[in-house]
A = this chain, B = another copy of it.
Amino acid sequence: MSTLLATRMRGLRASEIREILKLTRRPEVISFAGGLPASELFPVERMMTISSEVLAREGRQVLQYSPTEGDASLREAIAARMARRFGVHLGPDEILVTSGSQQGLDLTGKLLLDEGDAVLCESPTYLGAIQAFEAYRPRFRDVPTDDEGMVLSALERRLSDQPAAKLVYVVPDFQNPSGRCWSLERRVALLRLAGRFGVTVVEDCPYGELRFRGPELPALKSLDREGLVVYLGTFSKVLCPGLRVGWLAASRALLEKYVLAKQGADLHTSSLTQRLIAAYLQRFDLDEDIRRIREVYRQRCDVMLRTMDEEFPPGIRYTRPDGGLFLWVELPETLNARDLLVKCLARDVAFVPGGSFFPNGGHENTLRLNFSAMPPERIREGVRRLSEVLRETLGRPAGRPLREALAPTA
């Protein structure tokens, strides 16, 4: 079997998240392991209305093949929304509809990465990006990252390394897995450095609209004067993920190449699901939906943090996100989160060990917690169970944890 596979695929192993999720399907498990949006907020009835309307009005078209670039009205709606919400001014021909933003990552790897090319990423970084890029065999160079983003001196050093970096991959808003958000200063500085070194920046932005505290910060793409930023967006976290509709914004010349790469990958994204999203945007107020989602996630995040503050033993650090779906925990270095997970599963509580989010390994004392997918009482109960295991493992009673900002990692 293994000799049959292409070299790029020989090291392929099932992802940890995936294997863990299998163990957590038992309904009694309180799982902080997934990254699911709250399904009770999905607009099911509106989708019923819209799907009937769309099929009645244009049934033959939405069941037929459609252009690789994406539905024209959806591309226009996305361009209009990016201008209004993020101050990113693009033509519809700078937008490609993708089958979720995961496809944007895969197409980026396919289009830009030769074997051995250097990809700079945050530390930790999004596991799905590691998976997507890995198929094209780059070298990942993780850049030390603190609560404001990549540490600039370290980024500059990495950019000066030879061979030159091919791209910088970042999730500036409420990152998966850390929940961190880049400061304005770091955003501006990243673009300045990218311009100086002529490197492409991939801005993966699934959570940018899910800020529940503090002032909004500009998308990198809105600061991009030189066309260096490829922006990945998605409706998965603000509407629903099951339709698999995302988008990618890039300069016209690069977008044309993305279109060709997508044509070889899946011809086009479902005509029906694209039209459902376009009709939804036209008919309903997505901003209003997002306000509701933010409020629910804020409550859930606060409950999680409050319970952690009360129940965790001392010596454990964690982020305090202002948005998104996740927070990040650093245990004392003597602890291994994989071992901890085994103990936790015995008490029917789950999370994702953080080691998977570092492409070059290490950091086994970290873990990711999701707070979006369950009601407050389940969150409280789950964090209590996790705290019990932590206290037993560390032999320490509950106490106020260290509250300082997390030290840079990498």
Interface on A for B, CB 8 Å cutoff?
1, 4-9, 12-15, 18, 34, 36-37, 39-40, 42, 44-45, 47-48, 51-52, 55-56, 59-66, 68, 99-100, 102-103, 105-106, 110-114, 117, 128, 131-132, 134-136, 200, 236, 240-244, 253-254, 256-257, 260-261, 263-273
**Contacts A1-B254, A6-B111, A55-B44; A240 near B63 (Cβ below 8 A):** yes
Kindly name the residue among A7, A65, A241 whose own CB sees the greatest number of chain B CB atoms within 10 A: A65
Q: Looking across the interface, which residue of chain B has its beta carbon closest to that of A56?
A: B48
**Contacts A254-B1, A270-B270, A273-B273; A62 near B242 (Cβ below 8 A):** yes
Q: Looking across the interface, which residue of chain B has its beta carbon closest to that of A373?
A: B64
Q: How far is the CB of A344 from chain B (nearest CB, A)?
A: 22
**Contacts A5-B111, A6-B113; A135 near B63 (Cβ below 8 A):** no
Is the Cβ of B56 less than 8 Å from the Cβ of A264?
no
**Contacts A4-B254, A51-B51; A244 near B263 (Cβ below 8 A):** no
With a cutoff of 8 Å between Cβ atoms, the chain B residues found around residue A13 in the complex are 260
Number of copies: 2
Is the Cβ of B263 less than 8 Å from the Cβ of A18?
yes
A236 to B110, CA, bound (A): 26
Q: Looking across the interface, which residue of chain B has its beta carbon closest to that of A105?
A: B264
Q: How far is the CB of A139 from chain B (nearest CB, A)?
A: 14
Is the Cβ of B63 less than 8 Å from the Cβ of A42?
yes
With a cutoff of 8 Å between Cβ atoms, the chain B residues found around residue A266 in the complex are 99-100, 102-103, 106, 244, 266
Is the Cβ of A265 less than 8 Å from the Cβ of B106?
yes
Q: How far is the CB of A23 from chain B (nearest CB, A)?
A: 14
A163 to B127, CA, bound (A): 36
Is the Cβ of B99 less than 8 Å from the Cβ of A99?
yes
With a cutoff of 8 Å between Cβ atoms, the chain B residues found around residue A12 in the complex are 257, 260-261
With a cutoff of 8 Å between Cβ atoms, the chain B residues found around residue A9 in the complex are 110-112, 257, 260-261
Given contact pairs A14-B256, A39-B64, A132-B264, enumerate 12 new A-B contacts (beta carbons under 8 Å): A6-B111, A18-B263, A40-B60, A42-B60, A44-B60, A48-B55, A51-B52, A52-B52, A65-B241, A65-B242, A99-B99, A99-B269
Q: How far is the CB of A91 from chain B (nearest CB, A)?
A: 18
A235 to B19, CA, bound (A): 30
Q: How far is the CB of A3 from chain B (nearest CB, A)?
A: 10
Q: How far is the CB of A239 from chain B (nearest CB, A)?
A: 8
With a cutoff of 8 Å between Cβ atoms, the chain B residues found around residue A47 in the complex are 55, 59, 63
A51 to B12, CA, bound (A): 37
With a cutoff of 8 Å between Cβ atoms, the chain B residues found around residue A5 in the complex are 111-112, 257
Is the Cβ of A15 less than 8 Å from the Cβ of B257?
no
Q: Looking across the interface, which residue of chain B has its beta carbon closest to that of A246?
A: B266
Q: How far is the CB of A297 from chain B (nearest CB, A)?
A: 16
With a cutoff of 8 Å between Cβ atoms, the chain B residues found around residue A64 in the complex are 36-37, 39, 42, 240-242
With a cutoff of 8 Å between Cβ atoms, the chain B residues found around residue A63 in the complex are 39, 42, 44, 47, 240-243
With a cutoff of 8 Å between Cβ atoms, the chain B residues found around residue A131 in the complex are 263-264
A286 to B149, CA, bound (A): 54
**Contacts A9-B261, A265-B132, A266-B100; A66 near B242 (Cβ below 8 A):** yes
